[in-house]
Amino acid sequence: MLARIRWGGVPGFVIRRVLLGLIVLIMVSIVVFAATQALPGDPARAILGRSATPQSLAALRLKLHLNQPVFTQYWTWLTGLLRGNLGTSLAAQEPVTTLLRPKLVNSSVLVAVSAILSIPLSIAIGSWAALKREKIFDTLSSNLLLVLAAIPEFVVAVVLVLLLATTVSHVLPAISNIPPGSGPWNYPSALVLPVLTLVIVVAPYVARIVRASMIEVLESDYIEMARLKGLPERTVMIRHALPNALGPVFQVIALNLAYLAGGIVVVEFVFAYAGIGSALRDAVLNHDLPVVQALAMLIAALYVALNLLADVATIMVTPRLRTRL
Amino acid sequence: MIPAAGPDVAAAGVPLETPPVRATSLLRRSLRLWRTRIGVGLVGLLVLLAIVGPFVAPYGQSAPVGAPNALPGGKAALGTDYLGQDVLSRLLDGGRSILITAFIATAAGLIVGVVIGLIAAYARNALDDVLMRAMDVIMAFPQIMLALVAVAVVGAHAWVIVVALALTTVPRIARVARGAALPVVERDFIACAEAMGVPRWRILFVELLPNTLGPLMVEASLRMTYSIAVIAALAFLGLSTDPNGANWGTMIYENQTVLPIQPWGAVAPIIAIALLTMGTGLIGDGIARTAAGIDRSRGGE
Amino acid sequence: MNTPAVASESAEPAQAAVTVRDLQIDVAETRTPVVTDISFEITPGEVFGLVGESGSGKTTVGLALLGHARHGLAIAGGSVLLGGRDILALSDEQLRRLRGSVVSYVPQDPASSLNPALRVGLQLREVLEAHAGERDGRGAVRADHSARIAETMREVALPDDPRFLRRYPHELSGGQQQRIGLAMAFANRPRLIVLDEPTTGLDVTTQAHVLSTVRELAKLHDVAALYVSHDLAVVAALARRVAVMYAGRIVELGTAEALFTSAGHPYTRRLIGAIPRLTGGRSLLGIPGHAASPGNRPPGCSFAPRCSLRIEQCEQEIPALRPVSADHMVRCIRAEEVLTQEQRRIGDPIDMPAAEDLAALRLDSVVASYGRVEVVHSVSLSLAAHECLALVGESGSGKTTIARAIAGLHRNWTGKITLGDVPLQASARRRDADSRRRIQYIFQNPYGSLNPRRTVGDIIEQPLRLFGTASGRDASRRVAEMLERVSLTASYAARYPDQLSGGERQRVAIARALVCDPAVLVCDEVTSALDVSVQAAIVELLGNLQRDLGLSMLFITHNLPLVRSIAQRVAVLHEGVIAEIGDAAQVLGTPGQPYTRQLIADTPSLEVAIAEVGLGEPPVEPAPTG
């Protein structure tokens, strides 16, 4: 298997991981394609519904290349994808790329802002709770985080709307009314609630993971030994504990971003935010297959890339794993 | 007088392994914690509500009871929703489908995931690689997205959602099962069974599985929490299986816009879902803490 | 409470490097005492041995000398005087300044005590930098770190060039890691060093080097050293004075001479009697039962339940630690009797039945590999019926690989392995049921070899069910029989492994192995993870069973002296090749090969240590009276 080829050192590892990622992506594309077009049954009929006329069905089949052998269909689709041609939206009759590009920008801004807030927050809370474990801050925050982490994101979203936009107060807009053509940065108040929701949904879960891995580091033998050598506590924390806690932190960051990517689907819908999340929801309702395929591949590619980056970053900060390569 | 059994293993470079705890005693012990009790209470309450609810609802779920969006009072204890239906009745009706779907999906994912994870851990060779890569492929999608894609293609049927959810649960469980099984597979009692020629399936399910139950139970409750959340979210997005039926997620979706006027149409199901997921989350956390606590007290001396 | 009445004649309190008085350490939450009434002192340049088995509390005492208690424990009382100051009364900051510079610690497991993310050079340098500008153990202020580092590296026999210092801990061998630990401890020329079993897990040869380094450095820098260990042989060779701990108390304290030639406490005597001897096929005697854990200790003398000399008074009050001669204190009301007991040998030399000619197991030119690396290079040996053959070697010698190949667990080998007259397949799964039944394997780690989720009875019954030897009530009867055979009662069948001690678990493993009447028993380091006294009992049991049941036994160990107590022949394995093979008494008494000679020379043994001091044969168990 490709994974077992022993190429040397860190560059070799990176290449191996990238190849692995590509293989996973190809498998994902097969799955996406199979799920949407290659299933038994008639996609054309599923899209147009029962009341479709034979002519419209035939036209659609031609358009979607459904009459060709499956493999050819797949190949056409895949090569199109790689060339940047994501197909044409059935609902909007536009190329998918034109349709999605502004939404992609919007979602990226949303995710970026949420990440900038939630990553340091979760690391800080998790680390502090680990440092002061079993004391008041830890017990309080752990319980609060547990409760928050369990609640589904749309519940959080609606509660926030209730509290801040409609019933309890009217501080913020309930809907993110960003006119098409302009970016969210021109309307910061439209971002507040969606970002807040995302942060509340993602940060607690990640903070708990940070806490657990920090505790593992803090209770290790080498930290005890560092104290027994008479090192000042600050040195123990910064020089000894931190580097060992970094490895897991990269995984945590990747996890953070991955959850955010999943969370935008619902959050964008609640706030009518024009991003790829709500685009996906609309495409699903309309059976707009090309858009669904494109979005699925996009998000999958993002996941794979994030995991890859996290793995490579972890290797870089863990000397023990580096020399084993 | 026989002295109590104490450790008489020298620190001779052999790590004193903390023995895993039996499943039943883990559950029992975790019930000693407040959080587990609260969690069980919440879940129990809501499950009861979901099962018994339809029988005690004052009105049918689709029967108009009064003016739409009326505040609580008179005939409707929690007011009416946007169609004039009784919020309370719909609340009592709305939990069942969520719970049943979530339960079936999680259970299916659990069974398949455990089998895959254990086989991968035990095989430790190319089979392990292949299985885990396959799991990676499935995990390349957020759970809700796979469900959305499936619904986009096939339609919003209950079985579609169950299959999609089960499918995305499988790799997450498999990962945990494999992670829990790997250290156990290295232990000598497995080697002993192999040397004696115990059949492979027996080793997997009689020797290996019982020793991985701790982490598995924690993950199972986590997955249950998540399944409930995803199903409710799907309903919220307007993709529920029965558009007219009562479903907590759908209720929130329907009554979202009238929040300023009559909050209860959305707030009541919100509270129900929140309490349910909090309950499962607390149970999982309780089990996790008990397992960790046992490990700690066994290892230290 | 029980302060020593007679101070040792050589040191006045002001001259002692460290004086411990009435030290007590409790479990923090429950206030249950873990160690109590600990008092001793160490003079500069002296190595003081603290001996005890697991659960005795010796590591806890060692750490307390740095003012440190492990998570969950708390120092409850007493004082530790270092240079006149009580370190238990110091503030955190003052304590921090002492650690690593005036008193330092060498941990047991160097691999986990070194930070895997930092280079070793940095970890060494920071000990100097953290205390730079302070006065060190000698009162001098340090200046040049690099010079000191180079000097220290040379002292511990490590390369002093910067390239070595740039390595990460995982790039060093176990011995090198331990030396870095020593370097870190000695770098600031402390007054007191606490060494916590620093040679555990190291090869005999490496261990010998590390021990001589410790001895030299202590002498060179006039450092007082507390050497904590369970290994009496090592302590005998290294320490001038020794304290023996049992169940959280010091039960005997005196010079190594006095202790090892005529100990005053029954526990010490039994402990010494449990140590395997390189010379003489004497049977080992273990101590029945086990030490009580904190909170479960009996009123009165803690050792009384296991002591053959106990009288009623022993169970009523805790004896005081009192002097029985100059510089020798014992915590036993019958100490005088114990001392004057006639020294007699227990157990005659083992009557080993002559081996028959028919080989029970044969290896012919077996070559075994891991992946592409060959670790066993064409080994041939034969195990006669009813014989016990010991296979000794250091780690990496290939002995475990051979054992696992025989059991069918290691499949990557070529050559021929024959059981009786049946050639064996490489993989256990491919062998027929009868072959699998006739070879049984006992593993090293008692905590890993039993399934924690099954009862003891289930575990022992499994082979019966698997091989169809017995079933139903018949099987339960066999299980009960086996339990009795291994000196456990039939009531154990309902228990779970985590309710058993390490020694009891090994007995269960033995019962499981023997329940199906195997022909060959492979014992892979089965006592290496057990306390000395328990080890003796297990070896005794195995020896008896082997003789009674007529088993052929392959006994794998790295512990040379142990061989004499159980095996007729021994094969010495060195880097995958048999260096020497022959009659045990002969090979170990008059070794032919240089490697064997080196191995024996490096093995710490009690007799050698005593011989060096110039005294006779160490005493053994006094005749039981009560």
**Per-residue model confidence as pLDDT tens digits over A73-90:** 777 778 777 777 777 777
- Strand, helix or coil for residue C420: coil
Q: Does A238 touch chain C (CB under 8 A)?
A: no
Q: What is the pLDDT of residues B21-70, one digit of tens each?
A: 555 677 778 888 888 888 899 999 988 888 888 888 877 777 777 777 77
For C97, name the nearest residue in chain A, comparing CA atoms only: A230
Buried b (16+ CB within 10 A) or exposed e, C611-624: eeeeeeebbbbbee
- State the pTM of this model: 0.80
| B24 against A239, higher pLDDT | A239
Type of residue found at A260: L
Q: Quick one: pLDDT at residue C212? A: 86
- Give me the sheet containing C85-86, strands edge to edge: C33-42, C18-27, C73-82, C85-86
Q: Does B141 touch chain A (CB under 8 A)?
A: yes
Poorest-confidence range of A95-104, A196-205, B69-78? B69-78
Q: Give the span between the Cα atoms of C68 and C99, in whole angstroms.
A: 10
Best residue of C29, C451, C462 to probe chain B, by most B CBs closer than 10 Å: C451
* Chains linked to C by 3 or more Cβ pairs within 8 Å: A, B
Nearest to C443 among B9, B188, B198 (CB): B188
What is the distance in angstroms between the Cα of C354 and the nearest Cα belonging to chain B? 30
Q: Quick one: pLDDT at residue B294? A: 63
For C113, name the nearest residue in chain A, comparing CA atoms only: A222
CB spacing of B233 vs A153 below 8 angstroms: yes
Q: What is the pLDDT of residues C262-315, one digit of tens each?
A: 888 989 888 888 887 777 656 677 777 777 777 778 888 888 888 888 888 888
Residue A321 clears pLDDT 90, i.e. is over it: no
| End-to-end alpha carbon distance in chain B | 24
Q: Quick one: pLDDT at residue C12? A: 46
DSSP string, C282-308: BPP---SS-PPPTT-PPSS-TTGGG-T
What is the distance in angstroms between the Cα of B250 and the nearest Cα belonging to chain A? 12
For C107, name the nearest residue in chain A, comparing CA atoms only: A225
Q: At what angle do helices B248-255 and A153-160 cross, to 10 degrees?
A: 30
Q: Give the DSSP H or E segment for B123.
A: helix B95-123
What residues have CB less than 8 Å from B70, skipping those under 6 apart? B76, B79, B80, B84, B262
Contact C375, C400 (CB under 8 A): no
C65 confidence band (pLDDT: 50, 70, 90): very high
Q: Give the span between the Cα atoms of B56 and B39, in whole angstroms.
A: 24
Nearest to C100 among A219, A222, A230 (CB): A230
Query: How is residue C328 written in tokens?
Result: 């020798």
Q: Does C66 touch chain A (CB under 8 A)?
A: yes
A225 confidence band (pLDDT: 50, 70, 90): very high
Q: Quick one: pLDDT at residue C105? A: 94
What is the distance in angstroms between the Cα of A133 and the nearest Cα belonging to chain C? 13
Q: What is the pLDDT of residues C551-606, one digit of tens each?
A: 899 999 988 888 888 888 999 999 889 999 998 888 888 888 899 988 888 888 77
C137 confidence band (pLDDT: 50, 70, 90): low
Q: What is the pLDDT of residues A127-163, one digit of tens each?
A: 888 888 878 888 888 888 888 888 888 888 888 888 8
User: Taking CB atoms and an 8 Å cutoff, what residues of chain C touch B10?
Assistant: 53-54, 230, 529-532
Q: What is the pLDDT of residues B153-192, one digit of tens each?
A: 777 788 888 998 999 899 989 988 998 898 889 889 999 9
Residue B17 φ/ψ, nearest 5 degrees:
-80, 140
Q: Quick one: pLDDT at residue B301? A: 26
User: What was the ipTM of the complex prediction?
Assistant: 0.78
Best residue of C29, C51, C54 to probe chain B, by most B CBs closer than 10 Å: C54
Type of residue found at B149: V
Q: Does B229 touch chain A (CB under 8 A)?
A: yes
* pLDDT, mean of residues B288-299: 65
Q: CA-CA distances (angstroms) from residue B158 to A37, B99, B208?
A: 21, 12, 34
* Closest by Cα among C212, C211, C245, C239 to C226: C239
Nearest to A158 among B136, B239, B256 (CB): B256
For C428, name the nearest residue in chain B, comparing CA atoms only: B195
Contact A130, A223 (CB under 8 A): no
What is the distance in angstroms between the Cα of B297 and the nearest Cα belonging to chain C? 9
Best residue of A151, A159, A209, A303 to probe chain B, by most B CBs closer than 10 Å: A151
B115 confidence band (pLDDT: 50, 70, 90): very high
Q: What is the pLDDT of residues C219-244, one digit of tens each?
A: 888 899 999 998 888 888 889 899 99
A94 confidence band (pLDDT: 50, 70, 90): confident
Query: How is residue A148 written in tokens?
Result: 């928050």
Q: CA-CA distances (angstroms) from residue C615 to A279, C323, C618?
A: 91, 22, 8
* Closest by Cα among C93, C91, C33, C23 to C63: C23
A177 confidence band (pLDDT: 50, 70, 90): low
Q: E strands, C512-576, where? A: 520-524, 552-557, 569-574
Q: Rounded mean pLDDT of chain C?
A: 84
CB pairs under 8 A between A and B: 139
Nearest to A319 among C71, C126, C168 (CB): C168
User: Taking CB atoms and an 8 Å cutoff, what residues of chain A touch C107?
Assistant: 221, 225, 228
CB spacing of A36 vs B273 below 8 angstroms: no
* Closest by Cα among A78, A99, A77 to A89: A99
Q: Quick one: pLDDT at residue B67? A: 78
C67 confidence band (pLDDT: 50, 70, 90): very high
* pLDDT, mean of residues B95-99: 86
